[in-house]
Amino acid sequence: MSGDPVYQRQNFGNSVGFGSRPALLLVDFQVGFVDPGVFGGGNIKQAVSNTQSLLAGMRDIGAPIAYTRAVFDKSSADGGTFAMKVPGLYELEDTASISQITPELAPRRGELVLKKIGPSAFFSTPLMSWLLKHSVDTLIITGATTSGCVRASVVDSCSYALRTIVATDCCGDRAIEPHEANLFDIGQKYADLMTGDEALSMARAAFATNH
């Protein structure tokens, strides 16, 4: 599909490139989204494993790091139409074990952890103001699921004119077909696609040059 003449003729898929101040965003890498018995499946566990080295490398260079957690309140029915489509989201209450960040990627002190009730990491959260505070111009995105909250976050990142990089092997979905289809579409319209190792190499070069 990547060689589709329609996309080539219409000049899709150009590169946004890498800026001087990258940050890392981990979208909804929660216990429940890793567990196939809850919301997991597909290649999500492998994406978590792949993200470990990217996270460690971004910490080593001192890059800003942010996480999101999907957190809902049954008593207030705050999930709106999102939870109408997926009622099980109400099991992701703040203190529930399945709503916590998966232990392999546990946040450290000084790293931002955001709670959200919509698909995008930007919707009704202070993510963008936090990125501005840190002068971020490039956002590397990982997480689950590729076709859902990762994609929504990518679209909003692009809408805020951030150079957006999707670490392809550090994103996962409960089925491979939507994972691959959405990566293709994201790469044509909204973001550059790299492996986690490639993104980390670019981030290291940016920090070495500009910090």
CA–CA separation, 199 and 78 (whole Å): 36
**At residue 143, what are phi and psi to the nearest 5 degrees?**
135, -165
CA–CA separation, 34 and 30 (whole Å): 6
Question: Which are the contacts of 1, defined by CB distance < 8 A and separation ≥ 6?
Answer: 184
The neighbour count for residue 108, using CB atoms within 10 Å, is 8
**At residue 100, what are phi and psi to the nearest 5 degrees?**
-80, 155
- 167, β-bridge pairs: 194
Catalytic residue among 149, 158, 170, 171: 149
Nearest to 63 by CA among 110, 16, 17: 110
**Is the CA virtual torsion 162, 167, 168, 170 positive or negative?**
negative
Q: Is 158 a catalytic residue?
A: no
Q: Which residues form the catalytic set?
A: 149
